[in-house]
Chain A
Amino acid sequence: MIPMSEEYVLKLLRQNKRMDGRNLLDYREIKIETGVIPKAEGSALVQLGNTKVLVGIKMEIATPFPDMPDEGILIVNAEFAPIANPEFEPGPPGEEATETARLVDRLIRESKMIDTSKLVIQEGEKVWGVFVDIHILNDEGNLLDASAIGAVAALYNTKIPKYENDEVIRGEYAGNLPVRYKPVMITMAKIGDKYILDPNYLEEEVASTKLSVGIRDDDVICAVQKRGSGTIKFSELEGLIDLAIQKSKEIRSLL
């Protein structure tokens, strides 16, 4: 790709144009492939334009949290592998990876998309743990929305292994993971006084701030986060929430 400067992004936006020819409120093309990792109980490869994110689900036997003895547990982790971006470095998850994992966690947990009450093997002792691992393969921007799409698609693809005589039998399944909603994360980036959806890598560099909103099938808001160092005018907020709700329907139809 031809390197383009930040000034170019700004110049185009003043004419309501974007470097890849999109309208301000368009997402890039979204491709979702599920069941791509044989050893994972569920998986999805998501492409948001050239952003590539792989999400794998592992089902493991776990001990429930003491305050929730009758529910399975959910753990979300994100790995910003150094293959994805020349600026990513090997090592423990940094700030961005931590924030991404926690936001996807909130989207899944707070929307109650997984019926965790059906993941109990022995109350207070043994439950299924759902481990969602987000692996970024190529960072061309908007990793959060791509990770959220990947996580939801992978959870819909997840099967629960057979569990007999205190042993997990991998490769044989007792049924599907009990899922009931398709929550969607919508990220709006503020550049100058304009908001765009699904920012690419260069647009993210220029954006002063981003607002990510997680929306459930019934239009209930289940996660919100302002990301980045700019401000959002209070008067802009309602319009942004409306936009996220409207756009979430379009993304959900692909899941």
Chain B
Amino acid sequence: MKKPEGFKLVDGKGKRIDGRGLDETRPIRMEVGLLSRADGSAKVGFGNTVAVAAVFGPRALFPRHLQEVEECIIRTRYNMAPFSTESRKSPGTDRRSIEISKVLRHAIEATVFLEEFPRATIDVYMEIISSDGSTRCTALNAASLALALAGVPMRDLIASCTGGKIDGKLAIDLNGKEDNYGEADVAFAMLPTKREIVLLQMDGELTKEEFMTLLTKMADKCNKIRDMQVKTIKEYYKKIGGELE
């Protein structure tokens, strides 16, 4: 998308349109266990972007020919609600959501101990209920929490954030306008304690040096996001435990 003339994403003092510094994320909110029918659920917000994830399973997979003898399969669905965007998004899958569902599935496959549940499926459904950039990363953070709540054994929590280049400067956690009008954007997720990348997508224009500098900043941010995830899960169980006593 073309940037309107004179529109600045970063002002003279290095502040972004929502008042953030270049290395700051928007306010992050995390909530778990909000959907009673799901085996695990979570809601994550990065500023005005909000994703809800629900995990069902591990559960039996039918028809049987879809089963894998030695491991479970992961099915994902990334979906944007029609009202989540500025002009209504027509419901249903499109090429973008097909691709995003695929890369998010691969990220989860890289994280879950699939061999623990042969012939089963774990279904991870992610709904974007409000969209303002970085939706796939927000969805993946929610999915990670929902998987943990469902008791799915994982190699680590998945922590995810975006980054990019806006008005010539490297920045973390792009909002919708920065995503549209910026020069480059990167979607990234890793297993922080292992420093292994499970999601990496980039488009735009970056030199190798810019790319590596940005990714290092994003990896640092993912460590912090993981800390928040751990805290959220602990507080949830403390609360549940308190209610049981």
User: Which residues of A does B touch, CB under 8 Å?
Assistant: 67-68, 71, 95, 98-99, 101-102, 106, 109-112, 209, 211, 216, 219-235, 237-238, 241-242, 245
Q: Which of A220, A224, A228, A242 contacts B106 (CB 8 A)?
A: A228
The binding surface of chain A is classed by DSSP as: mixed
Q: Which residues of B contact A221 (CB under 8 A)?
A: 202, 205-208, 211
Is B99 a contact partner of A102 (Cβ separation < 8 A)? Answer: yes
A-B contacts, CB under 8 A, total = 102
Kindly provide the distance from the CB of B187 to the nearest chain A CB, expressed in whole angstroms. 10
Q: Decide yes or no: A222 and B203 within 8 Å by CB, A68-B1, A229-B109, A229-B110 being known contacts.
A: yes
The binding surface of chain B is classed by DSSP as: mixed
Is A223 a contact partner of B203 (Cβ separation < 8 A)? Answer: yes
Is A234 a contact partner of B219 (Cβ separation < 8 A)? Answer: yes
- Shortest Cβ distance from A111 into B: residue: B205
Is B197 a contact partner of A222 (Cβ separation < 8 A)? Answer: no
Q: Which of A98, A222, A224 contacts B200 (CB 8 A)?
A: A224
Is B203 a contact partner of A106 (Cβ separation < 8 A)? Answer: yes
8 A-B pairs besides A221-B207, A229-B110, A232-B200 with CB distance below 8 A are: A71-B2, A98-B102, A101-B95, A225-B103, A225-B200, A226-B199, A237-B197, A237-B215
- Shortest Cβ distance from B202 into A: residue: A224
- Shortest Cβ distance from A222 into B: residue: B205
Q: Which of A98, A99, A230, A241 contacts B208 (CB 8 A)?
A: A241
- Shortest Cβ distance from B106 into A: residue: A229
B212 in contact (CB, < 8 A): yes
Is A233 a contact partner of B1 (Cβ separation < 8 A)? Answer: no
Is B98 a contact partner of A226 (Cβ separation < 8 A)? Answer: no
CA distance A225 to B198 in the complex (A): 11
User: Which residues of B does A touch, CB under 8 Å?
Assistant: 1-2, 95-96, 98-99, 101-103, 105-106, 109-110, 184, 186, 190-191, 194-208, 211-212, 215, 219
Pairs of residues from A and B, 6 with the lowest C-beta to C-beta distance, nearest first = A229-B109, A224-B202, A231-B196, A226-B200, A234-B195, A232-B197
Among B2, B195, B201, B203, residue most surrounded by chain A Cβ atoms (within 10 Å): B203
Kindly provide the distance from the CB of A100 to the nearest chain B CB, expressed in whole angstroms. 10
Is B202 a contact partner of A223 (Cβ separation < 8 A)? Answer: yes
Q: Which of A67, A95, A109 contacts B102 (CB 8 A)?
A: A95
Q: Which residues of A contact B205 (CB under 8 A)?
A: 110-112, 216, 220-222
Q: Which residues of B contact A106 (CB under 8 A)?
A: 203
Q: Decide yes or no: A245 and B106 within 8 Å by CB, A67-B1, A106-B203, A231-B191 being known contacts.
A: no
Is B109 a contact partner of A226 (Cβ separation < 8 A)? Answer: no
Is B207 a contact partner of A226 (Cβ separation < 8 A)? Answer: no
Question: What are 22 of the A-B contact pairs (CB < 8 Å)?
Answer: A67-B1, A68-B2, A71-B2, A95-B102, A98-B98, A98-B102, A99-B102, A110-B203, A110-B205, A111-B205, A112-B205, A221-B207, A222-B203, A223-B202, A223-B203, A226-B197, A227-B106, A233-B195, A234-B195, A234-B215, A234-B219, A237-B212
- Shortest Cβ distance from A241 into B: residue: B208
Is A220 a contact partner of B207 (Cβ separation < 8 A)? Answer: yes
Q: Which residues of A contact B195 (CB under 8 A)?
A: 233-235
CA distance A221 to B219 in the complex (A): 19
Is A231 a contact partner of B99 (Cβ separation < 8 A)? Answer: no
Among B2, B199, B204, B212, residue most surrounded by chain A Cβ atoms (within 10 Å): B204
- Shortest Cβ distance from B74 into A: residue: A229
Kindly provide the distance from the CB of A97 to the nearest chain B CB, expressed in whole angstroms. 10
Q: Which residues of B contact A245 (CB under 8 A)?
A: 208
Among A95, A101, A219, A234, residue most surrounded by chain B Cβ atoms (within 10 Å): A234
Q: Which residues of B contact A102 (CB under 8 A)?
A: 95-96, 99
Is B200 a contact partner of A211 (Cβ separation < 8 A)? Answer: yes
- Shortest Cβ distance from A67 into B: residue: B1
CA distance A245 to B1 in the complex (A): 27
CA distance A235 to B204 in the complex (A): 23
Q: Decide yes or no: A234 and B208 within 8 Å by CB, A95-B98, A98-B95 being known contacts.
A: no
Q: Which residues of A contact B202 (CB under 8 A)?
A: 221, 223-225
Q: Which residues of A contact B203 (CB under 8 A)?
A: 106, 109-110, 222-224
- Shortest Cβ distance from B194 into A: residue: A231
Q: Which residues of A contact B106 (CB under 8 A)?
A: 209, 226-229
Is A231 a contact partner of B206 (Cβ separation < 8 A)? Answer: no
Q: Which residues of A contact B194 (CB under 8 A)?
A: 231
- Shortest Cβ distance from A234 into B: residue: B195
Kindly provide the distance from the CB of A245 to the nearest chain B CB, expressed in whole angstroms. 6
CA distance A245 to B209 in the complex (A): 12
